[in-house]
Amino acid sequence: MHYARNRQAAQETVELIEKDGGRAFALGAELGVPGDIDQLFPGLEAGLKQHTGQTTLDILVNNAAETSTGTAPEEVSAEEFAKTFAVNVKAPFFITQRALGLIPDGGRVINISSGLTRVANPAQSVYSMTKGALEQLTLHLARHLAPGRSRSGDHGQQCAPRHHRQRERVLQDPRGPGADVRAVGVQAHRRAG
């Protein structure tokens, strides 16, 4: 369970997972800053080894996101733009890149997107742009990792050409109506040769 700033919330989530019979550990690292991936992975590998006896990562969920409370496009600063793209696009790309060596055949990469990629909300234009980029990353990873066979494991509306067989499922956010998130994922299969 990665967290950027709220260790207590991450630990509470770990406890809930463990209460239900799962295994988890909290791992802190701020994303979107220089050295973020290099800070994250030694802790991830050590935690996996400690809790499972190996460094295999069966499922990677890219769920971190940076957003604003709503900024009109003409008011977005270069710093806000860069930070949002660093956390929402660059970090998932390089986390996935680094994690591929830990994910076995049949493992999963799940990227959490947003319904804002399908509706217009000018105050969230930068955030929605990043989630659109994340959906494209998922599409291309699906083709790269499992040509013709990648899937999220859940039946749902197809979001890519049939030959990709990438699937998505719209999940209802527990916070209530209108807070839908989109989960898009790929199943990893090692390419021969």
Query: Would you name the residues annotated as active-site residues?
Result: 114, 127, 131
Read off the tokens for 159: 């979001």
User: Which of 63, 56, 147 is CA-nearest to residue 107?
Assistant: 56
Kind of pairing between the strands at 168-171 and 181-187: antiparallel
DSSP track, 25-63 = --EE--SSSTTHHHHHHHHHHHHHHHHHSS---SEEEE-
Report residue 131 CA to chain centroid gap: 10
Q: Is the dihedral of CA 40, 46, 51, 57 positive or negative?
A: positive
User: Which of 97, 109, 100, 68 is CA-nearest to residue 85?
Assistant: 68
Task: Compute the residue count for the chain.
Answer: 193
